[in-house]
Amino acid sequence: MKISAIEAYGIACVEPNDNNRTRYTTIVKVQTDEGVTGWGEGITMWPESTHAVVTLIEKGFKDLLIGEDPLQTEKLWHKMRSHVWWYGVGGLASFAISALDMALWDIKGRALGLPLYQLMGGLVREKLPAIASIHGKYATHEENVGEIASYIDEGYQGVKIGFGKKGQAILGRDEAHDLEFVRRVRERIGYEKMFIIDIGNGIRWEMPHAIRMARAYEENRVLWLEEPFHPDRMDDYRELRQKTNIWIGSGEREWHLEGYRRLLESGTVDVFGIDPARAEGITGFLKIRELIGSKGKIFNAHAWSTGITTAASLHLSVSSPHCLLLELKPLANPMQHELTVPSITHRDGWVFASEAPGLGVEVDESALRKYRLT
């Protein structure tokens, strides 16, 4: 079997789970001379980076991979990495490698008639708790807490909420306001449900405030506090880790194994976010997963894009003992419910991996054309 064709598509979709913000990503289609097709994704996020990664794939990686055996995923992963040594491992190159590597794994699974988790060692967990991953967007506590409660009532086993996002919420900026919000959430959903807070890049916390909030969140059994600082503020991460006991999550903005090794060695992170559409695909994710697992740490797949990345994240998660849950977007959206079939959702609060070969999802090419970035 040989790779016979590669196509890259920039996509632009309005995302209801992000206050109807337009989000961008890059989808790649890899075909073989035996009629097997694989799909992958690089979460390029912005229009300019999406256009750039499409160019990298169409004008560079395409010629590099045509004629190669797609089942040789490790060999081709190293070949792609070697190819980009001049213009950088990380950044745009990592998006391109991620998309292509994911598509090659999809081909491998389809060709062998196996779901990807079987190629990763088999199921370690038959199912994972489904967590509704949302962005705070309403002006009042009543509305934001009501939204969270509606997802718990729907069957989700927990909620992760992003502070400082687009919309009317002012979460993450005022101490008393945030503490009242967390108190009301716990009052409404109880303490048995998982509750995660993601500060992300929309908020800048200074250390005294961060320490107070982390301690208060721990008292309210917040499972982990994600990205309380920008990733460059490593000294602040160290101090927060020394002065608090709450789990700290970070890593989703890392690019590769080397970056995760530095993060692990810093001793600042308990839950490592990994994005297979950013961190050099499934091959890169597996290497990072092994490193983190060897130290007894937890990872969480950053699957907040299309159903392609969600499918890859699910296979990577159920085949490891070092993952606790899977995040899902709770509102119907084009990236999850039009581009890929079937939609990945929960059943009675649990997410099960597909037994279909490869990623287990098909791409609707009419939707791909509908949302193509021109």
At 291, is the pLDDT very low, low, confident or very high (cuts 50, 70, 90)? very high
Whether residue 136 is predicted with pLDDT greater than 90 in this model: the reply is no
The one-letter code for the residue type at 144 is: N
C-alpha distances (whole Å) from 357 to each of 25, 109, 113, 360 are 24, 5, 5, 6
The mean per-residue pLDDT over the stretch 65-85 comes to 97
pLDDT number for residue 149: 97
Sorted by sequence, the CB contacts under 8 Å of residue 143 that are 6+ apart come out as: none
The mean per-residue pLDDT over the stretch 258-286 comes to 97
Q: Extract the tokens encoding 162.
A: 């992003």
Neighbouring C-beta atoms of residue 121, cutoff 10 Å:
10
pLDDT number for residue 201: 74
Do 30 and 107 contact (CB within 8 A), yes or no? yes
Does the global pTM surpass 0.85? yes
**173-224: per-residue pLDDT in tens?**
899 999 999 999 999 999 999 999 999 877 899 999 999 999 999 999 999 9
User: Domains of the chain: which residue ranges?
Assistant: 3-113+366-370, 118-359
Whether residue 124 is predicted with pLDDT greater than 90 in this model: the reply is yes
Q: Which H or E run contains 11?
A: strand 3-15
Complete DSSP assignment for 252-311: TT--SHHHHHHHHHTT--SEEEE-TTTTTHHHHHHHHHHHHHHTT-EEEE---S-HHHHH
Percent of the chain with pLDDT over 90: 94
The mean per-residue pLDDT over the stretch 162-169 comes to 83
Strand-pairing partners, residue 23, are 13
At 158, is the pLDDT very low, low, confident or very high (cuts 50, 70, 90)? very high
Neighbouring C-beta atoms of residue 75, cutoff 10 Å:
11
Q: Under CATH, to which class is 3-113+366-370 assigned?
A: alpha beta
pLDDT number for residue 180: 97
pLDDT number for residue 164: 82
Whether residue 14 is predicted with pLDDT greater than 80 in this model: the reply is yes
User: How many residues in the chain?
Assistant: 374
**317-364: per-residue pLDDT in tens?**
999 999 999 999 999 999 999 999 999 999 999 999 999 999 999 999
Nearest Cα to Cα of residue 326 among 279, 265, 276: 276
Do 111 and 333 contact (CB within 8 A), yes or no? no
pLDDT mean across residues, the chain: 96
Q: Extract the tokens encoding 60.
A: 């560079």
CATH fold group of domain 118-359: TIM Barrel (3.20.20)
pLDDT number for residue 60: 96
Contacts 24+ apart (CB under 8 A), 62-67: 62/6, 65/3, 65/6, 65/30, 65/100, 66/3, 66/4, 66/5, 66/6, 67/2, 67/3
pLDDT number for residue 7: 98
At 170, is the pLDDT very low, low, confident or very high (cuts 50, 70, 90)? confident
At 36, is the pLDDT very low, low, confident or very high (cuts 50, 70, 90)? very high
